[in-house]
Amino acid sequence: MAADSAEYIKHHLTNLTFGKHPEEGWKFAENAEEIATMGFWAINVDSIAWSVGLGVVFCVLFGLAAGRATAGVPGGLQNAVEMIVEFIDDTVSGIFRHRNTLIAPMALTIFVWVFLMNLMDLVPVDWIPEAAKAAGVHHMKIVPSTDPNITLGMALAVFLLILYYSVKVKGVWGFLKELLCHPFPWYLAPVNLVLEGVTLLAKPVSLGLRLFGNLYAGEMIFILIALMYGGLVLGVFGTVLHWAWAMFHVLIITLQAFIFAVLTVVYLAQAHDVEEDH
């Protein structure tokens, strides 16, 4: 029973991976051991596909809302979209005091896209993986935010924007001065560089790992609850736990999307700050 449970958990936590096998060439991995042999350049196809697909869903929904917008009484979709847009706009206005037309749309995109990725965690854990298995697909993870490649990839994009705007707004020397002359005087530049460098690098790492850790833990709990569906008593108890955790998890998936968006805005606001702003 323990071996079956371990295999069940391992199967549900393994991505559909495409890469180069040392002996068999390019192929889809059939198990975790093959994934380990494929190395760095292996691609988690399911994470990418679900991420892109949910991004398309986001664009379609908001495009439909924009196309059907009316000055009269709004429909359900338009009302929901307007509430989200106003909420994000108010949040960004309270944090970002500079002029940059990219920030608010980017925060909206991050919030909705991450929320949709997180929302997939509420789909029963067996439905899509087992359907994929029946169709001959060995693995299928449908929650992209439980893949560190996705969360850290998004965080890396934010980090590149931080560097870009830090140099654009402050200039190369201004950015270097910030790294070399704070928090101690300039003659302690090596110490300052270490401290400020760690602070700078911690931003994308914490941004990506926070989202990954929370959603991975949530997915693991759903999988552990699913293991209880083996008898009448445990099945009833598991159902109660499943619904209780699902309702609580709605808060988690929304909060994590909001935190990712807000921290992105905060980090970019810091990148726009110059000494005169303090």
- Classify residue 54 by burial, with Cβ atoms within 10 Å: 0-12, 13-18, 19+: buried
183 prior amide bond cis, ω within 30 = yes
pLDDT digits (tens, 9 = 90+) for 41-60: 899 999 999 999 999 999 99
Active-site option among 15, 47, 145, 214: 214
pLDDT digits (tens, 9 = 90+) for 180-191: 998 888 888 999
DSSP alpha helix (H) spans, 70-147:
76-95, 103-119, 127-134
Mean of pLDDT values over 84-112: 95
pLDDT digits (tens, 9 = 90+) for 192-244: 999 999 999 999 999 999 999 999 999 999 998 888 876 666 667 778 888 89
pLDDT reading at 257 higher than 60: yes
Higher pLDDT, 166 or 239: 166
Give the pTM: 0.92
Active-site option among 5, 31, 79, 206: 206
Output the pLDDT for position 278.
42
| 206 included as an active-site residue | yes
Joined tokens for residue 278: 């303090």
pLDDT digits (tens, 9 = 90+) for 102-129: 999 999 999 999 999 999 999 989 899 8
Write 270-277 long-range contacts (CB < 8 A, 24+): 270/162, 271/161, 271/162, 271/163, 271/165, 271/166, 271/169, 272/96, 272/98, 272/100, 272/165, 272/169, 274/169, 274/170, 274/174, 277/97
